[in-house]
Structure 1
Amino acid sequence: MKLYIKNMVCNRCILVIENLVKDSGFHVIKTELGEVEIMEELNPEQIKLIESKLKPLGFNLIGNRKAQIIEKIKTSIIKLIHHSEEAPNINLSAYLTNLVNYDYNYISNIFSETEGKPIEKFYITQKIEKAKELLVYDELSLSQIADKLNYSSVAYLSSQFKKMTGLTPSHFKKIKEKKRNSLDYL
């Protein structure tokens, strides 16, 4: 049986969920962002037990098929941008269609209806969040960050960055450096 779980965004979440399910007496087959597969078929009481343990940790079970699709889309994009070493050089619509086995127009419509923004905007938001993270780490140049996130140019990354944050990447980096330096004096 697969349980679909909302708000899993990192490897630590996978570990927490896996341990929670095991500690509840169930056998985990596989855990990944957004879902855990267990050997047992759960009855409604067992599902409520797991749900009651998830909620205090900020997770929720997803029972609705549309919500499961949306969560799979979100976790797949997060995994692609934040947990992959390779540049996300893909056709997003083909990637997601293949992943969830539904027509892209269908998944795009339900995503927009539920989330209030198109899939592409969520994807761009995640890329900009990753760019912000990489800027703060200060290990890569802006050109290297653009390459890593598969932007066609630094100018295009800068344009999207400014559109999403209101700041240029260099201004963002200066602000973060000032905050970090001021914390060093505390």
Structure 2
Amino acid sequence: MKIFIQYMVSLRCKLLVKSELEKLKIKYKSVELGEVLLYKNITVAKREKLKKELHKSGLELMDDKKAMLIEKITNVIVEMVHYSDELPKVNFSVFLSEKLGIEYHKLAETFSKTKGITIEHFIIIHKVERIKELIIYDELNLTEISYLMHYNSISHLSKQFKQVTGLTPTFFKSLTKRQRFNLEDL
């Protein structure tokens, strides 16, 4: 049985969910971002208890199919941008469609209607957050970051960065207090 959990976008969230499952003695096969595969169905009482405990930490069990699809899209994007060593070589629309087994047009329409933002813009926002992280770590120069994040040029990266943040990457790097957002808040 699969259960879906909203707002589960980090490794910390995965650890929290595993902990709650273990406290409730719910056996699970795997815990991924937004999704838990259980060995067997759980009782309504255990489901409610899990729901209550997760809610205390800002996570929500989902029942609505549309909400579950949005959460799957979100988790694929977060995992792809923030936790993969390398972005996919194929177009993001192809990647999402193949990963979720659903036609991209349907994914994009559902996402936009529900979130009020396009998938493309959502990906750009996350890429910019990842770029901020890479700038702060100061291990790569802008050319290397541009290559890693699959931009055609530094100017393309800079243009998108400035559209989202209002700052150039170089100016952001020079700031002493650099603002980043929690993935859960994007």
Same topology, TM > 0.5: yes
Distance 2:102 2:66 in 1: 11
Offset of 1:33 from its aligned partner?
A: 0.6
Distance 1:167 1:88 in 2: 27
Distance 1:63 1:99 in 2: 21
| 1:179 matches 2:177 | yes
Letter in structure 1 aligned against 2:14: I
Distance 1:87 1:76 in 2: 12
Letter in structure 2 aligned against 1:173: K
Offset of 1:4 from its aligned partner?
A: 0.4
Q: Which runs of 5+ in 1 are unaligned?
A: 181-186
Summarize the alignment of residues 134-149 of structure 1 with structure 2, pairs less than 5 Å apart: 134-149=134-149
Aligned-residue sequence identity (percent) comes to 37
Q: Which residue of 2 aligns with 1:51?
A: 51
In terms of Rg, which structure is larger?
A: 1
Structure 1-normalised TM-score? 0.92
Letter in structure 2 aligned against 1:179: K
Change (3 A) 1:168 1:147: same
Letter in structure 2 aligned against 1:81: V
Offset of 1:47 from its aligned partner?
A: 1.3
Distance 2:101 2:84 in 1: 22
Letter in structure 1 aligned against 2:177: K
Q: Which residue of 1 aligns with 2:39?
A: 39
Distance 1:47 1:14 in 2: 17
Offset of 1:82 from its aligned partner?
A: 0.5
What SS does structure 2 have at the residue aligned with 1:179? coil
Q: Which residue of 2 aligns with 1:183?
A: none
Offset of 1:100 from its aligned partner?
A: 1.9
What is the total number of aligned residue pairs between the two structures? Answer: 178
Q: Which residue of 2 aligns with 1:184?
A: none
Answer yes or no: is the 8 Å Cα contact 2:88–2:95 preserved in 1: no
Moved over 4 A (4+): none
Q: Which runs of 5+ in 2 are unaligned?
A: 179-186
Structure 2-normalised TM-score? 0.92
Summarize the alignment of residues 7-156 of structure 1 with structure 2, pairs less than 5 Å apart: 7-156=7-156
What SS does structure 2 have at the residue aligned with 1:136? helix
Distance 1:37 1:86 in 2: 26
Instruction: Tell me how large the CA RMSD over aligned residues is.
Output: 1.2
Offset of 1:179 from its aligned partner?
A: 2.8
Offset of 1:87 from its aligned partner?
A: 3.2
